[in-house]
Amino acid sequence: MVDTKLSYGLCYGGGLGGHATALTLLEPSLAYTSASQLLGWENSDAVLQLAVAQHPCHWCNVLGAMARRTVPANAVLYGQHLKMWMSSALLKGSADSFLLCQEPDCGTMVVYLISEIAVFEWQTTTSRMEHGVWNSTRELLEDWLARLEQIDTPTSSSPFGCVITAFRMAARIYFHSFTKEYGPFSHETQVLVGHLTEVLQETQMHPVDYDYHLIWVYLVAGSNCAPTSPFRDYFHDRLHRYRQFPDLPHCRLMELISTILEETWDWNDNTRGSIKDWRDVMLEYGLDLFNHLVHVPLLVNDQ
């Protein structure tokens, strides 16, 4: 049983125009309810609510560090848990793969794998690895990505299944984006973005506010897609749905994501020899992942 001992609501600001942002400390009795309404959780799958609520600190730590191209504070611990889980999953075999994916640990391990990729990116961009060590680390991460991809997800009609599949596919796209064997616009990366778009199209059956849970996926896929990628059509279609109902809670959020991606696309489509991703655009405009895009309740487990 998760008890809201302390909860912060992170609210995004107005957009690239520079509106002020707010960090609001909510009363414990109101925190979870307010955040649930803000996130549209009243229309979401109960399993997804539990999965997100149990591990918000991990998500904030990993995705926040990755957004700043730094190492997550608990990266070593995350890596140790990931290695243990991978070994356990390998021993259990494919017969238990569905059960493994249903466990909250599966979603957590995807986040831990993103943490390992973030560490690898930092080591790559700062030249802190010998070539042999770099290659062995790359091969290990590719092996872990492949193992997660071999685990069957719940039916695609489940929001939980969509999120797990989308995040692990986005993790591989993120991995491809800075490894010289691939690159953001390689054929392999574009095939991945196409497959991810097919998964995202499953969200069409869910409430429009469900896009909130896919912010990071949208940013990663969007900043690594070619002009002809089906992802752009998909995202524009989702944005159009929001614009028909401007009073929806996350309409302004989708507009801000659109602005970031449009800036990224304009640069990458028209500039040779230099590539930007969503983090570069956010840095240029002084935007922060949590202050402007994500608002996650931090829940403390009473047990």
pLDDT digits (tens, 9 = 90+) for 227-237: 999 999 999 99
Q: Residue 207: its pLDDT value, please?
A: 55
Quick check: 28 and 57 in contact, CB under 8 A? no
21, 286 Cβ separation under 8 angstroms: no
Are the C-beta atoms of residues 79 and 52 closer than 8 Å to each other?
no
- Give, in degrees to the nearest 5, the angle at Cα 284 between 282 and 287: 35
Task: Compute the average pLDDT of residues 74-94.
Answer: 75
pTM for the whole thing? Answer: 0.75
d(CA 34, CA 181): 45
Residue 38: name the closest of 11, 61, 60 by CA: 11
**pLDDT by residue (tens digit) across 260-273?**
999 999 999 998 87
Q: How many domains does the chain contain in total?
A: 1
Q: What is the pLDDT of residue 230?
A: 96
> Is the CB of residue 279 less than 8 Å from the CB of residue 272?
no
* Residue carrying the six token digits 């309409």: 251
Better pLDDT: 106 or 74: 74
Whole-angstrom distance, CA of residue 199 vs CA of residue 287 = 28
Q: Whole-angstrom Cα distance, residue 207 to residue 230?
A: 21
Comparing 24 with 98, the larger pLDDT belongs to: 98
Per the prediction, the chain carries an average pLDDT of 72
Confidence of residue 181 (pLDDT cuts 50, 70, 90): confident
Q: Could you list the residue range(s) of the whole structural domain that residue 160 is in?
A: 2-301
Residues 95-154: tens digit of each pLDDT: 344 444 444 466 778 888 999 999 999 988 887 788 888 889 999 999 999 888 876 555
Average pLDDT over residues 46-58: 48
How large is the average pLDDT for residues 274-280? 91
What SS3 state is found at 17? coil
pLDDT at 13 over 60: no
According to the model, what pLDDT value does residue 184 have? 79
Q: What is the pLDDT of residue 61?
A: 80
Higher pLDDT pick, 240 / 207: 240
In a 3-state reduction of DSSP, which class is residue 129?
Answer: coil
- Highest-scoring range by mean pLDDT, 13-27, 143-157, 279-293: 279-293
- For position 209, what pLDDT does the model report? 60
DSSP state of 16: T
Strand 8-11 versus strand 2-3 pairing type: unpaired
Tell me the DSSP string of 45-107. -HHHHHHHHHSHHHHHHHHHHHHTTS--TTHHHHHHHHHHHHHHHHHH-GGGHHHHHHSHHHH
User: Tokens for 281?
Assistant: 């655009």
